[in-house]
Amino acid sequence: MQRHIDLVGLLFLVAGALSALAAASVLLLGIGALGVLWTDGPRVSASVAAAAFLTVATLLAVWAAANAWVGRQLRRGHRPVARLVALALAILHLFVLPFGTALGIYSLWVLLHHDSRSRFEGPGSFGRPA
């Protein structure tokens, strides 16, 4: 089961990298929309577009950072908080078609498996008294 946990961690890292790439792309679109504001173009629509692009870029960057953090924590060690955050992100990934859905299903299968659960529970964890 350890190989599956490592693979889930790697897939979360890949998802984080892809999200960071999307965030950079949307950020460039937002910068381009801000550039329209300095010309004689439509100011209202450019400002709305810039605000929307920059907001989406920020959300994608936060999503990328969360995925990368979970991926590193799953690959580094068996911390119960990493498993809980990974489960929460896996549920959210179910709505991101098609790669996120596959990642969400696989992550839920791996992290809810009895062997995986016992690897993350140790002295001082949430599920077991110290």
In this structure, the dihedral spanned by the alpha carbons of residues 99, 101, 103 and 106, taken in order and rounded to 10 degrees, is -140
Per-residue pLDDT of the chain (130 residues; tens, 9 = 90+): 889 999 999 999 999 999 999 999 999 999 999 988 888 778 888 999 999 999 999 999 999 999 999 999 999 887 889 999 999 999 999 999 999 999 999 999 999 999 888 888 765 555 444 4
Stretch (H or E) spanning 98: none
Mind giving me the DSSP string for 28-63? HHHHHHHHHHTTTS-HHHHHHHHHHHHHHHHHHHHH
- Total-model pTM: 0.86
